[in-house]
């Protein structure tokens, strides 16, 4: 098919799939789907709007964004899931944000702390209970550097005042207690939860840490949650370049790293969507500059290394070039191994904050093509950053519904689908290779030079697994 024919075909697919909807839902959904064409007249998709009720969205809630994404990985803080037991239970131990530390001493990542609301708490309020809980935390975990209170739906509905409990207990215990108003009904996706979590860091932590001299090469990584060790893989490259990573937000991070986020020469922002707010705030308030970077796949890694090095002096640039040189041959070896097995294979993605665009280059390094992509909770500027990275004819879908994605996949017939746990087994039942691209399917890291060989191996393993060939019974 020519590019024009591909574009026309995919536009027709969109129209066909939209026919599944009642009128009102169809009108809404049409605005969220587009095919990239040469003039790009139609590639603007609407985003960050309310999900249509009843359609099976993959989206989560503000609590998921604030606790699951931003706060949960901060390792030396006790995060209280404040409300009924469920939200904390479902977000317990399933995000793979690895942390280095003594569990129960200065690392609380593998825990679920909950106030386990009962009916009486709904009726009489949970503030007194919260106060007691915080004192119990302090008694049982003396090395915790702080406490965060992440409110679940009922807390906001019954009018509890967690801010004042936080103020009182913080003074009483001489410990930061941070209220995070991330009730699940706020906003329309995880996204507002990220924002609320950022605001809590801004209001309660930034600039409140022990003073520190800023070294000439001190940098921070913002918006890397260390899934499967991703942040450590990125850090390795940056330190080989002669830079000093003093903060990571929030993968494997500490309270002090949050307090001192502005005390660096440069902040590198990985997941723009979930942490742009605080990066912008640090720039406006403290003059801390920030740039985006992308450490997926050797092409993008090289571009990013050069872009980062250009912010520093000759010494760093020299080292940066050496790093690129050092890894060129090993990365080429990875490509030589896997590209012949993956060349020309197509991928459809549907993920969260940054991966629907950031991973495109890594697939291209392997000779693969992204033919469809979309975000669960992106905003306009995310799509603006995404469109240029895509080839003409790429299908773009925002907050795609389960049925839309199934239909798109059936019609576009990719060789691989990359999305989340809720989607994984649907496509595997169709006999389609799939990788979870939130959790790296329990593999990783995928970042940096350390991650690319693993990424390449995993994609090859998914697509070329002999298991797919066994699906059809010989007598059928």
Partner 1 sequence: METCTKVTKDWLNTQEYREKNFAREKLVINPAKACQPLGALLCALGIEGSLPFVHGSQGCAAYFRSTLSRHYREPVAAVSDSMTEDSAVFGGQSNLIEGLKNANTLYSPQVISIFTSCMAEVIGDDINAYLGNAKDQEAIPKDLPVALANTPSFKGSHITGYDSMLKGLIDCLAAPRQEDKLNERLYVVPGFDTYTANLREYKRLLKVMDTPYTLLPDQSEVLDAPNLGTYELYPGGTPITEMKDALNAASFLFTQTYSTPTTRKYLASKGVPVEVISMPIGIAGTDKFIESVAKITGKDVPEEITLERGRSIDAMTDAHQYIHGKKFALFGDPDVLIGVVSFLLEMGGEPVHIVCSNSTPLFKKAMESLLGSSPYGQGATLYAGKDLWHLRSLLVTDPVDMLIGDSHGKWAARDADIPLVRIGFPITDRVNLHRYPIVGYSGVINMITMIVNTFLEEKDRTSSDTYFEMMR
Window 123-162: residues binding partner 1 (CB under 8 A): 129, 132-133, 136-137, 139-140, 142-143, 152-154, 156-158
**Nearer of residues 25 and 461 to partner 1, judged by Cβ:** 25
Identified catalytic residue from 34, 62, 64, 99 = 64
Select the residue interacting with partner 1 from 8, 30, 42, 122 (CB under 8 A): 122
Q: How near is the Cβ of 418 to partner 1 at its closest, in Å? A: 16
Q: DSSP letter string over 38-99? A: TT-TT-----S-PPPTTS------HHIIIIIIIITT-TTEEEEEESSHHHHHHTSS-S-B--
> Would you call 188 exposed, middle or buried from its count of C-beta atoms within 10 A (0-12, 13-18, 19+)?
middle
Phi, psi of 223 (to 5 degrees): 80, 35
- The two beta strands, 395-397 and 33-35, are antiparallel
- Per CB under 8 A, does 62 bind partner 1? yes
**Contacts of partner 1 in 392-411 (CB under 8 A):** 401-403, 406
Select the residue interacting with partner 1 from 1, 413, 421, 465 (CB under 8 A): 421
Q: How near is the Cβ of 314 to partner 1 at its closest, in Å? A: 41
Identified catalytic residue from 79, 82, 181, 194 = 194
- Per CB under 8 A, does 283 bind partner 1? no
Contact, 274 vs 69, CB < 8 A?
Answer: yes
Largest separation between any pair of C-alpha atoms in the chain: 74
- Residue range at the interface with partner 1 (CB under 8 A); choices 246-254, 322-330, 355-363, 416-424: 416-424
Q: Give yes or no: 194 in active site.
A: yes
Of 269, 253, 256, 280, whose CA–CA distance to 219 is shortest? 269
**Contacts of partner 1 in 232-261 (CB under 8 A):** none
Distance CA 42, CA 31 (A): 10
Q: How many CB atoms lie within 10 A of CB 16?
A: 11
Q: Give yes or no: 64 in active site.
A: yes
Contacts of 32 (CB under 8 A, 6+ apart): 45, 46, 47, 49, 397, 398, 399, 400
**Nearer of residues 157 and 310 to partner 1, judged by Cβ:** 157
Q: Give yes or no: 166 in active site.
A: no
Q: Give yes or no: 95 in active site.
A: yes
- Per CB under 8 A, does 54 bind partner 1? yes
> b/e per residue, 20-43, with b = 16+ CB within 10 A?
ebeeebeebbeebbbbbbeeeeeb
Distance CA 254, CA 354 (A): 23
**Nearer of residues 110 and 330 to partner 1, judged by Cβ:** 110
The contact mask relative to partner 1 for 14-33 (x = CB under 8 A, - = no) is: ------xxx-xx--------
Distance CA 436, CA 359 (A): 13
Q: How near is the Cβ of 102 to partner 1 at its closest, in Å? A: 5
Q: How near is the Cβ of 174 to partner 1 at its closest, in Å? A: 13
- Per CB under 8 A, does 83 bind partner 1? yes
**Contacts of partner 1 in 165-204 (CB under 8 A):** 184-188, 190
**Nearer of residues 141 and 452 to partner 1, judged by Cβ:** 141
Q: How near is the Cβ of 306 to partner 1 at its closest, in Å? A: 39
- Per CB under 8 A, does 225 bind partner 1? no
**Nearer of residues 21 and 455 to partner 1, judged by Cβ:** 21
Q: Catalogue the active-site residues.
A: 61, 64, 95, 194
């Amino acid at each position: 098919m020519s590019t024009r024919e591909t574009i026309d075909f995919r536009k027709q697919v969109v129209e066909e799939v939209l026919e599944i909807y009642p009128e009102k839902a169809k009108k809404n959904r049409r605005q969220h789907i587009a095919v990239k064409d040469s003039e790009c007249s139609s590639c603007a998709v609407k985003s960050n709007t309310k999900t249509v009720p009843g359609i099976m969205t993959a989206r989560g809630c503000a609590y998921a964004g604030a606790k699951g994404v931003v706060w949960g990985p901060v390792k030396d803080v006790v995060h209280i899931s404040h409300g009924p037991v469920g939200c904390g239970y479902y977000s317990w131990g399933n995000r793979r944000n690895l942390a280095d530390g003594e569990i129960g001493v200065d690392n609380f990542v593998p825990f679920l702390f909950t106030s386990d609301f009962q009916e009486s708490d709904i009726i009489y309020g949970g503030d007194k209970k919260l106060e007691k809980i915080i004192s119990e935390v302090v008694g049982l975990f003396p090395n915790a550097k702080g406490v965060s209170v992440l409110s679940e739906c009922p807390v906001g509905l019954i009018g509890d005042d967690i801010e004042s409990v936080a103020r009182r207990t913080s003074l009483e215990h001489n410990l930061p207690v941070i209220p995070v108003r991330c009730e699940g009904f706020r906003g329309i996706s995880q996204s507002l939860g990220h924002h609320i979590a950022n605001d809590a860091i801004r209001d309660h932590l930034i600039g409140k840490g022990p003073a520190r001299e800023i070294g000439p090469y001190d940098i921070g990584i913002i918006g890397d949650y260390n899934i499967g060790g991703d942040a450590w893989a990125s850090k390795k490259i940056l330190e080989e370049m002669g830079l000093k990573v003093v903060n990571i937000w929030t993968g494997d991070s500490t309270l002090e790293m949050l307090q001192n986020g502005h005390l660096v020469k440069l902040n590198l922002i990985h997941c723009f969507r979930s942490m742009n707010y605080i990066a912008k705030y640090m720039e406006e308030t403290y003059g801390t500059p920030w740039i985006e970077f992308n450490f997926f796949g050797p092409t993008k890694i090289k571009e990013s290394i050069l872009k980062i090095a250009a912010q520093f002096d000759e010494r760093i640039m020299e080292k940066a070039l050496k790093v690129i040189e050092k890894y060129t041959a090993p990365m080429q070896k990875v490509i030589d191994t896997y590209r012949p097995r993956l060349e020309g294979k197509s991928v459809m993605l549907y993920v969260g904050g940054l991966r629907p665009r950031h991973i495109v280059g890594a697939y291209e390094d392997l000779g693969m093509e992204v033919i469809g992509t979309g975000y669960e909770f992106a905003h306009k500027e995310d799509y603006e950053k995404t469109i240029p990275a895509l080839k003409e004819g790429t299908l773009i879908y925002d907050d795609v519904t389960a049925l839309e994605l199934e239909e798109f996949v059936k019609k576009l017939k990719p060789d691989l689908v990359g999305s989340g746990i809720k989607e994984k087994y649907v496509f595997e039942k169709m006999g389609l290779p799939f990788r979870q691209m939130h959790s790296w399917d329990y593999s990783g890291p995928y970042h940096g030079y350390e991650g690319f060989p693993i990424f390449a191996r995993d994609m090859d393993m998914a697509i070329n697994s002999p298991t797919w060939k066994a699906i059809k019974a010989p007598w059928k």
